[in-house]
Structure 1
Amino acid sequence: MSHSPSDPEAPDLSPSDPALTRRNFYGRRHGKTLRQSQKGYLEDLAHLRPKGVTFDENPDRRPIAPGTIFGDDRPLWLEIGFGGGEHLVHMACLYPQVGVIGCEPFINGVAMLLGKIRAAGVENVSILPGDARDLMDVLPDAAIDRAFLNYPDPWPKARHHRRRFVTPEHLEPLARIMRPGAEFRIATDIPDYVRQAREEVPAAGFTPVADSDQPWDDWLSTRYEQKALREGRVPHYLTYRR
């Protein structure tokens, strides 16, 4: 989830920069060539990125005030890896009084989300086109009121399970930035991911609330879920309380 030195989208970091040596990123950042319209959408990032989150704007990882992201004290929700962005935009439309922050390192997904934001006309979305840990580094304690982890990369090989989000490396910073009582939702179609979440999430400071094959009332089925259903995999929905 961190920038690679060879990534053209990455900030200019020296090889000795602690941001490079502290963590690794294992997922994809680029897919198919973007359409011209999608390249145009990326111009919207200038005013949708949360202030003070990127390395170049905040190289020392100084804490940022949550109110600077949307310019007020509205509740903040966080979607970790928003894929194509359909769930994120759905939530932004349903809850206009909330500020929804989306983190996604896959630039094609970012472009897709930006197109959906334009089409829906929502104004309560902020986007970090990168590692969610970069945001968690700079947010103060108890800043987030709800978090979503929808169909995360399953990393199916046992030797790669440590790369999953449901590990202490990710969950402990998430627990720190979530306010007491905040809700953390996980959707996945991978039984072993459910197993690991059941073990790791409570250990990081979350209380189980629901564990079901029935989605939340305000859930929007994503393209990843539809693919899982077509391929015969059963979605599962986990809810935790900080």
Structure 2
Amino acid sequence: MAAFLGKRLILSMNSKNDLNNPAPPEQRKVWGRRQSRPLNVTRAKAMEEIFPQIEIDKATLTQDHALSTIALFGNDNETWMEIGFGSGEHVIGLLNQSPNINMVAAEPFLNGMAAFVKDLPKNHIPRTRVLMDDAIMLASSLQENSINKLYILNPDPWHKKRHYKRRIVSPENLDVFAKILKSGGELIMTSDVPDLADWMLTHAFKHPDFTWQATSQADWSEKPKNWITTRYETKGAKGAKKMCYLLFTRK
């Protein structure tokens, strides 16, 4: 039956949250369809069996920076975060590459989340926590000075000027990121859309709590050491140019 139940199967699973009713509009900022196509059997099964084990309970998202990483993982290991992880290739790559870190990540769209949980190795489950909703709800709930690295890779560029306010990198959101990052922590952003790369660089450079790491063109135009390349990065966005790698340090 899972072959054709699709969304109904996901919405009936043993989830901590009501996926049919995401956070109220005043609390979340996610645009676009949450599901683009039906899930196949394998992904539907992963959402039913694996997703509830790593899902963050929305009842803990009080947006007052009260949620500790110890509460999420039961340890005080380094915790890294990724916002908008797509199908999760980069998250899994980080977990494979760094066996002692915790990973907290947000992806609002069902198809991406399903692809991720299908591919997530079982041994990484204890070190992984995810939210299928607005990442800012999660970021504004995490304790201050609790995140060591924050990745924002190839976010939606929202090309139209009237939609610029939807861009994930903004002065207001950078304030939130600065609160949750530890001193010396890293904000790592990428884009192959020149206008968006310029936007992210400008706003982060102007923010008083961040320092740009680049000292030469190579620092932003070439892949950082031990970089995990995803299929998106290899393929590139339609009409895109060269990828920009923007690395900032929390003061």
Q: TM-score range by the shorter chain?
A: 0.7 to 0.9
For 1:9, which of 9, 19, 32 is the aligned residue?
19
Q: What letter is aligned with 1:48?
A: I
1:140 is paired with a residue whose SS is: coil
For 1:185, which of 172, 183, 188 is the aligned residue?
188
Match status 1:101 vs 2:104:
yes
2:234 is paired with a residue whose SS is: helix
**Aligned match of 1:47:** 53
1:122 is paired with a residue whose SS is: helix
Q: List per-residue Cα deviations over 1:49-88 (Å, max 9, x = no partner).
A: 23x5x1xx24754612220111110111000000111111
**Aligned match of 1:16:** none
1:21 is paired with a residue whose SS is: coil
CA 1:60–1:226 in 2, change beyond 3 Å: closer, same or farther? closer
1:32 is paired with a residue whose SS is: coil
CA 1:174–1:12 in 2, change beyond 3 Å: closer, same or farther? closer
Q: What letter is aligned with 2:29?
A: N
Question: 1:12: how far off?
Answer: 6.8
Question: 1:207: how far off?
Answer: 0.6
RMSD: 2.1
Match status 1:122 vs 2:128:
no
CA 1:144–1:35 in 2, change beyond 3 Å: closer, same or farther? same
| Alignment check: 8 A CA contact 1:79 1:148 kept | yes
Q: How many residues align?
A: 225
**Aligned match of 1:150:** 153
Distance 2:182 2:152 in 1: 17
**Aligned match of 1:195:** 198
Q: What letter is aligned with 1:214?
A: E
**Aligned match of 1:37:** 42
What's the TM-score, normalizing by structure 1? 0.85
CA 1:193–1:117 in 2, change beyond 3 Å: closer, same or farther? same
Distance 2:83 2:32 in 1: 13
1:193 is paired with a residue whose SS is: helix
Question: 1:178: how far off?
Answer: 0.6
Q: List per-residue Cα deviations over 1:195-222 (Å, max 9, x = no partner).
A: 1112111333211003511112221221
| Alignment check: 8 A CA contact 2:22 2:133 kept | no
Distance 1:125 1:240 in 2: 24
CA 1:80–1:232 in 2, change beyond 3 Å: closer, same or farther? closer
Distance 1:83 1:181 in 2: 27
| Alignment check: 8 A CA contact 2:43 2:115 kept | yes
What's the TM-score, normalizing by structure 2? 0.82
For 2:77, which of 74, 78, 101 is the aligned residue?
74
- Unpaired segments ≥5 residues, structure 2: 1-17
Match status 1:26 vs 2:31:
yes
For 1:217, which of 225, 233, 244 is the aligned residue?
225
Q: Percent of counterpart pairs with the same letter? A: 28
